[in-house]
A and B are shown apart, each in its own frame.
Chain A
Amino acid sequence: MLTRRNSIKAAAGVAAAATLGVASRAEAAQTVKVGISAALTGADAASAARQANGSILALMNANALNEVPGVTFTWEKFDNGTATAGQYDPAQAATNARKMVSDPSIVAAVGPQMSGDGKAMSPILSAGHLITITPSSTNPDITDPKFAAIYRPADNHAPVYFRTVTTDAYQGPNMANFFAEHLKAKKIFILDDSGAYGVGISTAFEGQAKKKGIQVLGHEKLDPKNPDYTAVLTKIKSLNPDSLYYGGVTMAGAKLAKQSYQILPNIHKGGGDGIVGSDFLTAGGFPAIEGWYATIAGPHLVGTASKAVGTFTQQFITKFKTVPDDYAVTGYDAAWVIVQAVKKLVAEKKPITRDNIRSTLLTITVDTLQGPVAFDANGDIKSRVVSVFQIREDKAKPLSDPNAQYAYIGSAPQA
């Protein structure tokens, strides 16, 4: 549990860093480099930048506060998005993972943003003994022991992919519970964007929806590069559903929101964390996106009463000239967990190596902005909160402000 003393300390730490700026670090004898990967190019670029900046802020604060005496944190950003994909690109992610592994000064990584990238990176990182902590990729397969031979083949299947969000094994089913219990959905159609994340979360949603007695009228895949979804939406209309669930990210999501607004105007529509963020807001626009439900695989923090998150928000705005979202917080937390693991190694006078960071992560509990973070034996976060939002236009605030346009509804019923 987050003790009061610890939470005050975390808040004070963030506040102190804000005032100190770049503090002197005269005794910095060792530099520790963290690789940060996200889809900084393409359809999800704004969310990617928020998340990466959250992580960078944590490392800046660690340096400013001299959080680990004698250690200076540096970072290198890796862009998993490419122009040819127009969004995240697993092939590029694999290349980046190889670059990280081959750079001996990188001892830990944060990211990736997308599960499709995670699936490509995890085996490479495993072979390189390099752990990564993802602030947003939620596909459960990557950490599932069933697939350990694929995603963490090396080191006796030791975990390599850690998370500061929960997985779609909860995000999808919990949302299905929300559709059944709160929206009283009876007949639903499910779409996904053919990506690793989209297929995973929509399949998990489908399984639980059926258990809750919702009739699943169909489940189809969208080609994210195809501009036209009118035909499949017309087909869905002819089946008379009362709800639509979409598993996927912005590229197909924004077009789906646009076209379903015309063809399926009066049904419940929802998705996962792939459609949370300013990219979806600005590409979809009102009135098309009004009323869409969406989830994140963690607690809702930005804009809540938490003092530490409030200080973080102020710092983030000062530094990056934009508001953070909840995955900027999980991005901060991911990097902060690495900082604390390094701190523990230094305190125990152990060398700061990739393997030592991994073994430390499996034992520590770190007080972060979202509360205490601890990992299970597979690298998954122990907390399983899924938060539900509904897009409701706030005309007084900018369209691109996710905190204003996504109204927090509550946490979804646990599956």
Chain B
Amino acid sequence: MSGLSLFVQQSINGLTLGAMYALLALGFTMVYGIMELINFAHFSVFMVGTFVALYTFEAFGIFGQSTILHGLPLIGVLLAVFIVTMTVCGGIGMSIERFFLRRLRAVKGPASMITTIGISYILSNSVLLFIGGQGFNFPNPIPPVKFNFGQAVMQVEQPLIWVVSAVLMLGLTYFVQATKLGKAMRATAQDPEAARMMGVDVDRVILTSFFLGSALAGAAAVIFGLYYEYTNFYIGFDAGLRAFTAAVLGGIGNVPGAMLGGLLIGIIETMTSQFISTNWAEVVIFSILVIVLVFRPAGLLGRVAPNKS
């Protein structure tokens, strides 16, 4: 394998990984931007999403890699899985806000954050208890098509991941920038009190941000499952921690920052494995994070947080 092919191949790998981190990072950043809360339950919402997607595929009679679909049935099944998973995950996110965090909103200090950590463990241990701790073979009905670029190989799932991520991120950007509810979200992010006084329904805005962030985690869960064909009850922690790092690297609260951070972390992780050693990936990721934060404490694109004056 030539040096160039190898570089192309690792870039394909890194971009794919990064796109997933970016989708996941958006959920952290949206909630933080509006509430200044780090929602650690996001890890487990993503993990639950992989199981929702797995069972939705199985409801269509697709188990493991034995059923390959083409054309309209493939698109139909994938769409259905995305919609079901994103809706269920969005619902879980909303429930977390409505039933736990809303009651704690008036409480100062880290109570809300600790609650999200607790919910995260409750979700992952519930999956462990009711579904099991073993690894699961995630169904994949996509034909095993591969494209060659020199000696580099691209699986068909990889461009699919890029397209899905790009569409969802652009959709989110449009929603935040151009819709009335998006405007209300930005207003709440700037100053919740003033927004409330101007007639913004802050509860609804917060609920929406939880729904959107969690639905994106659901989308990330589907593409994660299709790409790795694997899931397990702990799968959210490692990916979630890196996605959170991505959000901080890009500037927490900042939507484009989360995308940039996700892609960067994906590429850094891949290139570290290639040129140093896979054991060093975490060391390098977190070293870069520390260095960036020392020189740009607000992250690469700057931090966005509610004005609590």
Contacts and interface: CB of A to CB of B under 8 A. Distances in A.
B137 A230 contact: no
Contacts of A376: none
Chain A, interface size category, equals 35 or more
B6 A225 contact: no
A94 B115 CA distance: 30
A92 B13 CA distance: 36
Contacts of A223: 238, 278-279, 281-282
Contacts of B238: 223, 225-227
Given A83-B124, A231-B269, A235-B273, A43 B232 contact: yes
Contact of B65 (A45, A221, A287): A287
Interface in A173-208: 194
Interface string A121-132: 000000000000
Given A232-B273, A234-B13, A286-B64, A86 B232 contact: yes
A192 B82 CA distance: 35
Contacts of B277: 220
A44 B137 CA distance: 14
Contact of A227 (B10, B132, B133, B239): B239
B155 A46 contact: no
B123 to A, nearest CB: 11
Interface in A227-262: 227-232, 234-235, 237-238, 240, 250-251, 254-255, 258-259, 262
B65 A279 contact: no
B10 A231 contact: yes
Contacts of B66: 286
Given A45-B133, A83-B124, A288-B65, A234 B10 contact: yes
Interface in B224-241: 224, 228-230, 232-235, 237-239
B259 to A, nearest CB: 19
B17 interface: yes
Interface in B116-141: 121, 124-125, 128, 132-137
A79 to B, nearest CB: 10
Contacts of A231: 10, 13-14, 269-274, 278, 281
B278 A230 contact: no
Nearest to B266: A228
B190 interface: no
Given A43-B133, A231-B13, A251-B135, A83 B232 contact: no
Given A258-B228, A285-B65, A230 B13 contact: yes
Interface in B136-185: 136-137, 153, 155
B134 A83 contact: no
Contacts of B233: 83, 86
B286 to A, nearest CB: 13
A25 B286 CA distance: 63
A273 B21 CA distance: 34
B270 to A, nearest CB: 4
A45 B134 contact: yes
A81 interface: yes
A221 B282 CA distance: 13
A230 B1 CA distance: 16
B228 A283 contact: no
A284 interface: yes
B9 interface: yes
B279 A279 contact: no
Interface in A83-102: 83, 86-87
18 contacts: A42-B133, A44-B134, A45-B134, A83-B121, A83-B133, A220-B278, A221-B279, A222-B278, A225-B238, A228-B228, A228-B269, A230-B13, A234-B13, A240-B1, A279-B134, A283-B134, A283-B135, A283-B232
Interface of A: 41-46, 81, 83, 86-87, 194, 220-223, 225-232, 234-235, 237-238, 240, 250-251, 254-255, 258-259, 262-263, 279, 282-288, 399
